[in-house]
Amino acid sequence: MDKFPAILPPFLILFFSFSLSLSDGYFTGNSSHPGLTSQADSLCAQLIEPNGYSCAEYIVQTKDGYLLALQRVSSRSGDIRVQQGRPVLLQHGLFMAGDAWFLDSTEQSLGFILADQGFDVWVGNVRGTRWSHGHTSLSETEKEFWEWSWQELALYDLAEMLNYINSVTSSKIFIVGHSQGTIMSLAALTQPDIAEMVEAAALLCPISYLDHVSAPLVLRMVAVHLDQMVLGLGLHQLNFRSDVLVNLVDSLCDGHVDCTDFLSSVTGQNCCFNKTRMDFYLEYEPHPSSVKNLRHLFQMIRQGTFSRYDYGILKNLLMYGQFKPPAFDLNSIPKSLPLWMSYGGNDALADVTDVQHTLEELTSNPELLYLENYGHIDFLLSINANRDVYDHMIGFFSQLCTA
């Protein structure tokens, strides 16, 4: 894979960390699917199997025609075809993909840790990412390919992945989400047909509201309407490996925001992120997303809502039959559905005030883990996350397995 363009400040990508199956069996990557052109180009082959873990890949088709990759991982001593543990779906954040759960050592990466603990690990990859580029009729060079936001990721991508896992395992599923993965999870769980497939959810940096984001560079992006600027350039795909976007975002810092500590300017201060592995991370991140997705996130910041995409009054009437987009009602998440959430005092994206807003709207009382010194990236890439975060999460799941 090409290295990330040098002009981009190195921590930019970390801000954005903010079923009908086409293959009913073991998928090795030898397919015409454009996102997985060869076995050597698959996530299994690049990050999981070299560490001694069995890994199978499947393709799932969404209702609107996107082709998603699902990886299934077992422990180094397990047989992937006779998995006995409870299925867990790992759902990544914005501008990331399933590789995010395997970027550190086997003792530090949550995907490996869960497999070693005996869970049946499934790894989600949403539309537009490197592992899931593809559609039944659209090319990714077409505008229509990128006509989606996290709304579709929740109601189509996540829903179809859960449906496929449920059909294979005949079991309800644990969900683990980080950042945008929690937005998707919370939105999806307001839908009864999706919630009934889920045993419990563990949310890292939980987000349903974003109106208290405090990261200086993020606020500047919103203030200058970066989303509209990119659309004005005729772009519909957000690919931060392109020189156009690299230069555009780099200019936002120049004379406007102190980006000396770039990571802090976009995520909050992270206590335990391993900066020495940045070159390795940049071999895999960032993945593309859509301009519409960014616009939807900016709507959340500007309007203080957790709602479907806002098209404006006239198109809202056409799409939804009302002037404003319908809200995702957190009260609709079943009270009986166990939730576990972990959040940090230094997270400038999943702000503590917004997390509290989420908690107030839920009918249940989630189990909480608050870490004062953790920032947004620590929950995924901290050198101490296995002890600080994942042990608690696994304890939460294990209690439910034995109940």
Is the backbone peptide bond immediately before 286 cis, with ω within 30 degrees of 0?
yes
What is d(CA 265, CA 15) in angstroms, rounded to the nearest whole number? 9
| Residue 108 CB-half CA count within 13 A | 16
| Identity of the residue numbered 73 | V
Is 378 designated active site? Answer: no
Tokens (6 digits) for 129: 């990412």
Specify whether 179 is catalytic. yes
Name, in order, each residue with C-beta under 8 angstroms of 21's C-beta and a sequence gap of 6 or more: 58, 59, 60, 61, 164
Give the Cβ contact number of residue 320 at 10 Å: 16
Q: What is the dihedral of CA 182, 184, 185, 191, to 10 degrees?
A: 150
CB 104 within 8 A of CB 280: no
> Position of tokens 């990050």?
47
Per-residue b or e along 109-121, where b marks 16 or more CB atoms closer than 10 Å to that residue's CB: bbbbbbbbbbbbb
Contact in structure between 175 and 337 (CB atoms under 8 Å): no
Query: What one-letter code names the amino acid at 277?
Result: R
Q: How far apart are CA 98 and CA 124, in angstroms?
A: 6
Q: Considering 120, 157, 310, 347, which one is annotated as catalytic?
A: 347
Token pair of 381 as six digits? 């890439």
Question: Which residue out of 33, 133, 135, 376 is catalytically annotated?
Answer: 376
Sign (positive/negative) of CA torsion 364, 370, 375, 378? negative
Of 360, 365, 88, 328, give the one whose Cα is nearest residue 202: 88
Q: How far apart are CA 132 and CA 99, in angstroms?
A: 12
Residue 347 falls in the annotated catalytic set: yes
Catalytic residue among 17, 179, 185, 307: 179
Residues with catalytic function: 179, 347, 376
